[in-house]
């Protein structure tokens, strides 16, 4: 890349599974929001003492100003999840969804065209949307009643991964099913709620795939109508990166998908770098990977610096990356 070109900066959530916390009242509060160069090196902690952080996205302008958006799952039995945002340097932390407003927030994505935030809510059994400041909260999809224990125990209706194709007016989400259960599903629906319908009664939901090992995070390339997702289920189809052409409307029941990369270790996050045409993926095993768009030429960018969940990519000019994070590119 030329010296004047923007450079990819990676933001990753470190779950810190099994790490001893110094907070005896909340031993799971040891996660962090970290940032690093797409060239590798040492990750830098921006925000720490996070309660099981899971999904992240970043929005920035041409001058390199913007905000980070991320989720904290909280305790699944307590309905105390949280969605927050912060300035790119980790300051000015704001609550967008507070305790009681969202149950177990998982993956998160920004609709940059309409400036909306989408969040999947696992034990909450819902898909949420709001403005970027947390106002105008909506429930777009409701798969069950989180106050009904039978519904909550049905992991086939747990909503986890989320992505938006604003140009086509669609959003996509995963329902992962039980661990290694082979009953995962991917759905899509229209950004606009059908007239007279609600999150429970909407009739525009399409099932794209079923009987997947355990689909987690999603990302879509709107220019090619290609959907990418991670699957942390059982091998040989699990712990993979996958892609499918989703341009057909309605979606054919006989549609196939391609496995483009294997051998991840509990795969979680997926993000596309549109400028340089790379896919980034994370796993709980502690790695951040970079692939070509067809899954070839894998590179392990980070290893053994945490247990990684969500990932986001921002394009910053090198001077801004140096100013904010002391990141340099040779």
Q: Give tens-digit pLDDT for 298-330.
A: 999 999 999 999 999 999 999 999 999 999 876
State which H helix or E strand residue 126 sits in. Answer: strand 126-131
Tell me what pLDDT residue 194 has.
Answer: 98
* 98-137 per-position pLDDT tens digit: 999 999 999 999 999 999 999 999 999 999 999 999 999 9
pTM of the predicted model as reported, rounded to 2 decimal places: 0.95
C-alpha distance from residue 126 to each of 15, 91, 144 (Å): 23, 30, 8
DSSP string, 259-316: EEE---SSEEEEEEETTTTEEEEEETTTEEEEEETTS-S-EEEEESS--EEEEEEEEE
Residue 3 binned pLDDT confidence (cut-offs 50, 70, 90): low
Residue 27 binned pLDDT confidence (cut-offs 50, 70, 90): low
Quick check: 21 pLDDT over 70? no
Tell me what pLDDT residue 137 has.
Answer: 98
Query: Measured in whole angstroms, how far is the alpha carbon of residue 179 from the centre of its chain?
Result: 18
**33-43 as b/e: b if 16+ CB within 10 A:** bbbbbbeeeeb
Proportion of the chain above pLDDT 90, given as a percent: 89
- In this structure, the chain runs to a length of 330
State which H helix or E strand residue 111 sits in. Answer: strand 105-111
* 186-196 per-position pLDDT tens digit: 999 999 999 99
3-state secondary structure at position 9: strand
Mean pLDDT of the chain: 94
Quick check: 56 pLDDT over 60? yes
**The two three-digit tokens of residue 170, written as one number:** 């669609």
User: Which positions ≥6 away from 47 have C-beta within 8 Å?
Assistant: 32, 33, 86, 90, 93
Tell me what pLDDT residue 107 has.
Answer: 98
DSSP 8-state symbol, 99? B
What CATH class does 7-325 carry? mainly beta
Average pLDDT over every residue of 249-267: 97
* 170-215 per-position pLDDT tens digit: 999 999 999 999 999 999 999 999 999 999 999 999 999 999 999 9
3-state secondary structure 145-197: CCCCHHHHHCHHHCEEEEEEECCCCEEEEEECCCCCCCCEEEEEEECCCCCCC
Q: Which residue has the tokens 């935030």?
A: 117
* 268-306 per-position pLDDT tens digit: 999 999 999 999 999 999 999 999 999 999 999 999 999
Task: Please list the helix, strand and coil fractions of the chain in percent, rounded to the nearest 5, in that order.
Answer: 5, 45, 50
């Amino acid at each position: 890349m030329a010296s004047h070109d923007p450079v990819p900066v990676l933001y990753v959530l470190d779950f810190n599974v099994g790490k001893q916390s110094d907070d005896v009242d909340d031993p799971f509060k040891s996660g962090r929001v970290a940032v690093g160069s797409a060239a590798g090196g040492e990750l830098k902690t921006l925000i720490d003492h996070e309660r099981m952080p899971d999904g992240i996205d970043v929005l920035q302008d041409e001058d390199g100003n913007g905000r980070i958006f991320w989720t904290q799952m909280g305790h699944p039995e307590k309905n105390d999840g949280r969605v927050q945002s912060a300035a790119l340097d980790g300051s000015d932390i704001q609550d967008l969804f507070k305790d009681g407003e969202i149950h177990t927030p998982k993956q998160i994505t920004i609709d940059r065209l309409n400036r909306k935030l989408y969040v999947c809510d696992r034990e909450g059994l819902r898909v949420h949307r709001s403005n970027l400041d947390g106002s105008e909260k909506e429930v777009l999809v409701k798969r069950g009643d989180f106050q009904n224990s039978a519904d909550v125990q049905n992991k086939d209706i747990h909503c986890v991964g989320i992505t938006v194709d604003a140009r086509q007016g669609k959003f996509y989400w995963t329902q992962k099913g039980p661990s290694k259960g082979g009953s995962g599903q991917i759905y899509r629906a229209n950004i606009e709620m059908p007239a007279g319908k609600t999150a429970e009664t909407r009739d525009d939901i399409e099932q794209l795939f079923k009987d997947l090992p355990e689909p987690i995070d999603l990302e879509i390339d709107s220019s090619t109508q290609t959907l990418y997702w991670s699957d942390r289920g059982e091998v040989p189809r699990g712990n993979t990166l996958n892609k499918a052409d989703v341009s057909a409307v309605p979606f054919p029941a006989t549609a196939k998908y391609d496995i483009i990369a294997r051998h991840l270790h509990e795969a979680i996050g997926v993000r596309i770098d549109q400028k340089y045409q790379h896919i980034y993926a994370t796993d709980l095993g502690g790695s951040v990977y970079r692939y070509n768009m067809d899954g070839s030429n894998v590179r392990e960018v980070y290893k053994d610096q945490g247990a990684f969940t969500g990932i986001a990519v921002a394009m910053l000019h090198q001077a801004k990356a140096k100013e904010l994070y002391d990141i340099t590119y040779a």
